[in-house]
Homo-oligomer: A and B are copies of this chain.
Amino acid sequence: MSDLLESALNPRSVAVIGASENIHKIGGRPIHYMRKHGFAGRIYPINPAREEVQGLRSYASLAALPEVPDLALVIVGGEKAVAAVDDCAARGVKSAVVIASGFGEAGEEGREVQRAMTARARAAGMRLYGPNTQGLANFGTGAIAGFSTMFLEVPPADGPIGVVSQSGGMSAMAYGLLRGRGLGVRHVHATGNEADVGVSELAWAVAHDPAVKLLLLYLENIAHPELLARTAAYARERDLPIVAVKAGRSESGQRAASSHTGSLANEDRAVDAFFHRHGIWRVRDPHAQALAAEAYLKGWRPEGRRLVVVSNSGASCVMGADASEAFGLPLAPLSAETRREVAARLPGFATATNPIDVTAALLSDSGLFGGVLPVLARDPAADLFFVNIPVAGAGYDVQAFAADTAAFEAASGKPVVVAAWQDSVAAPFRARGIPTFANETEALGVLAQLASHTALMRERHVPWPQDAAPVLPPGEGRFLNEAQSLALLAAQGVPVVAHRLCRSADEARDAWGAVGGPAVVKACSADVPHKSEHGLVALGVDSAQAAGALFETQWRRLAELGAAREGVIVAAMRKGRHECMVGARHDPVFGPVVVVGDGGKYVEALQDVAVLLPPFAAADVKAALKTLRIAPLLEGVRGEPPLDVDALADIAVAVGRLLAAAPGRIASIDVNPVMVGARGEGALVVDALVERSVELKS
């Protein structure tokens, strides 16, 4: 952790500018919290109107302090806040946390004040947190430079969880929900407007606290993906799961985010791809973060997804089976021996196959769980276990069930979770450290998340070689023409359709013979990137004569459109078994983003595509293709052969590498359609459009 971040999370001394005697005021709470939660450093209240604050000597100003504090908490608002920050910067304070609102989130004027204040702080070498933030809290050291009321509502306890959030409200909510589940929380940090330090940088610092075993983030925008990627890589290295909420998924959500913390919009499917690429698990809200926390902290890292369901309710077995299918957790096929042994321990009307229904007989025979579980523990077919007790109470020996389940977990070392909505039933399991949920949806959702996230964290990505930057043809226009675009791809080894660029009807007639009819004849001009909308694509041209005639027509039409007449392409007419597409573009935040999926003219309407961030391998593309709705077609249906997804994947990698090798040169590459043949037949690009970066044009 950098020294500067250290000064914020583990300060030796903290000044509170705008300190209050009243612990229910924002200026009073941090001092109260630090003293209550064992802060061992020095606290300097600054309040010129008082001699003493909460029993501590109060100072008139920063200048009056006996030392320069590591951290200053700026409680005062408006112009006073700006003056205080300037004063801190001038005196060598290392970190300042600015609580006041009314800056970047409040319009252009506030943005300007925020920008200037931040620039001055940076120039002086001081890090800034906020403004418009609830502040920082480290319960490991008691350094609490924040005012959340939640620390009064729910008593803190140090523990293995770090929360870093743009929103103070969401950091408090995550904290409260986690503590409500009995889990200890060390870090609760909010970054607000992120004028200087953002979630990504603070996450980097928290990830380096060896006591932290689970890192929860809340973001409204990802401003510095490279920092977050670095944090995620370090976290994977030390097996630290990161579970993130990224709000502003929708257009209206992004608008709301912009008026909340002045966030800029991220394209949501690129956010998904970014998290996926870096092994960060994305969930909807802090509730989902809290829900899965205990299962992560158990240290479970399941090797597979095969599930065993045990319940005392037949209906729960039915719904458990439904949920297992919904979450992609196949019911483990138990061995004949296991089933025999389970059957021997259950009444005759019970079900010994998975899901295992021990039935309401559990009421009269409390030993049923204890009898069945050890048998299951010995069967290697299962990776995950789910015990569902939707009904119990007086007469049921719940303590015994919980003890048996805990013994099972200790013996098998495999994940086992429980669903029990009655607190009296859940409590004994919780007391023995078994993660317990309200219903099968929650329980199996968490198991599925754990299995998927574990697999994701173990993915390794081989960096792409440093490719030579491609040379683009000279020109000023936004687009390369089709012939140039195809040539650029062909130079990367991408298979493109046989074609010729013709400048006369004679050349077109010759070309028809050369490419082998029937052919496609299409005008080629960088000024007309979308040819078919102008009637400039003719399919199924079945004679050289027709090709010549079409040349003339299209040549004239280009002139009518006032477009540069760069030629007419005569190309072999090739049909694959399916039209796919590959696209790549430079996202302003995430850099190269590659899209692969169902192609043809309805790409936008049908949206059956997967998004990948580099570096990715052909295997990653193939895994992504399996998530598409057209996946069954790619695998071969109705007696059709499987398609050549290897060839398609190779094209996606080549297109991605081409774009990545051309920063500042290529803005986007659109390859659609890619005609994909049967396995072994390859895939062929029949149309392409390369867009130059704006930088190159100017």
Contact = CB atoms under 8 A, between A and B. Distances in A.
A638 interface: yes
A627 interface: no
A424 B152 CA distance: 13
B313 A253 contact: no
A168 to B, nearest CB: 8
B313 A170 contact: yes
Given A441-B284, A605-B637, A637-B604, A252 B422 contact: no
A318 B422 contact: no
A106 to B, nearest CB: 5
Given A102-B348, A604-B637, A260 B318 contact: yes
A390 B632 contact: no
B394 A637 contact: no
A153 B251 CA distance: 47
A153 B639 CA distance: 58
A105 B349 contact: yes
Contact of A285 (B176, B251, B351, B441): B441
Contacts of A359: 101
A322 B247 contact: yes
Contact of A259 (B150, B314, B392, B608): B314
Contacts of A252: 321-322, 324-325, 331
Interface in A1-47: 24
A449 B424 CA distance: 31
A396 B149 CA distance: 10
A319 B149 contact: no
Counted per complex, copies of this chain come to: 2
A287 B439 contact: yes
A437 to B, nearest CB: 11
Contact of A422 (B153, B348, B357): B153
Contact of A256 (B317, B348, B390): B317
A395 interface: yes
Interface in A566-608: 601-602, 604-606, 608
Interface string A163-200: 00011111011001100000000000000000000000
A467 interface: no
A220 interface: yes
A373 to B, nearest CB: 19
Contact of A315 (B152, B247, B319, B630): B247
Interface size class of A (residues with CB under 8 A): 35 or more
A248 interface: yes
A324 B255 CA distance: 13
B248 A318 contact: yes
Contacts of A149: 363, 391-396
Contacts of A318: 220, 247-248, 253, 256-257, 260
A314 B393 contact: no
A315 B24 contact: no
Contact of A394 (B24, B101, B441): B24
A261 interface: yes
A629 interface: yes
Interface in A175-230: 176-177, 218, 220
Contacts of A250: 321-322, 324-326
Contact of A261 (B256, B314, B326): B314
Contact of A260 (B261, B285, B315, B639): B315
A249 interface: yes
B218 A315 contact: yes
Given A176-B421, A317-B260, A638 B601 contact: yes
A450 to B, nearest CB: 21
Interface in A231-288: 247-253, 255-257, 259-261, 284-285, 287
Contact of A167 (B176, B261, B313): B313
Interface in A310-347: 312-322, 324-326, 331
A315 B153 contact: no
A313 B247 CA distance: 13
Nearest to A252: B321
A561 to B, nearest CB: 17
A438 interface: yes
B256 A637 contact: no
A162 interface: no
A106 B259 CA distance: 62
A691 interface: no
Contacts of A632: 602, 605-606
A287 B323 CA distance: 14
A336 B260 CA distance: 21
Contacts of A79: none
Contacts of A148: 391
A324 to B, nearest CB: 7
Contact of A393 (B150, B601, B637): B150
A533 interface: yes
Interface in A381-396: 390-396
Contacts of A312: 169
A325 B260 CA distance: 18
Nearest to A251: B325
A673 interface: no
A142 interface: no
Contacts of A650: none
A167 B315 contact: yes
Contact of A349 (B106, B170, B256): B106
Nearest to A316: B169
Contacts of A440: 285
Closest 10 A-B residue pairs measured CB to CB? A260-B314, A167-B315, A169-B313, A250-B325, A253-B322, A605-B632, A153-B393, A252-B321, A253-B321, A247-B318
14 contacts: A150-B391, A168-B391, A169-B391, A170-B315, A176-B422, A247-B318, A250-B324, A252-B322, A256-B321, A260-B315, A260-B317, A260-B351, A284-B441, A606-B633
